[in-house]
């Protein structure tokens, strides 16, 4: 799980988003999101799942369990994270 904070930053930067923009998607402050990336605060499971979906990858990839970036086939679900834009 030590890789999680590195993957969060890598994917955020690849998508061209700031910490503030990503925080807004998650419904948290920029400071809180910064703590996720610096690995000083644990990211909530709902936020982790949301980001895996948003970045079109898997939680396993974010956690460093696999290097395969493609997501698993997903069930349709209703995410409850605030401010999720339509993709």
pLDDT digit string, tens, across residues 37-86: 999 999 999 999 999 999 999 999 999 998 878 777 767 666 555 555 55
Is residue 58 assigned to a domain?
yes
Question: The tokens 């895996």 sit on which residue?
Answer: 52
- As for how many domains the chain has, the answer is 1
Is residue 46 assigned to a domain?
yes
Q: Which of 70, 66, 71 is nearest to 3 (CA)?
A: 66
Give the CATH number of the domain where residue 25 resides.
1.10.260.40
Range of the domain at 30: 4-63
Answer whether 0.85 is exceeded by the pTM. no
Q: Which of 8, 84, 10 is nearest to 41 (CA)?
A: 8
**H or E segment to which residue 61 belongs:** helix 59-63
């Amino acid at each position: 799980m030590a890789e999680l904070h590195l993957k969060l930053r890598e994917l955020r930067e690849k998508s061209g988003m700031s910490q503030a923009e990503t925080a807004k998607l998650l419904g948290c402050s920029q400071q809180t999101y910064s703590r996720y990336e610096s690995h000083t605060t644990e990211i909530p499971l709902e936020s982790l799942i949301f980001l895996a979906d948003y970045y079109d990858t898997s939680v396993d990839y974010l956690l460093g369990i696999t290097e395969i970036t493609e997501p698993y086939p997903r069930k349709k679900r209703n995410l409850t994270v605030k401010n999720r834009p339509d993709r």
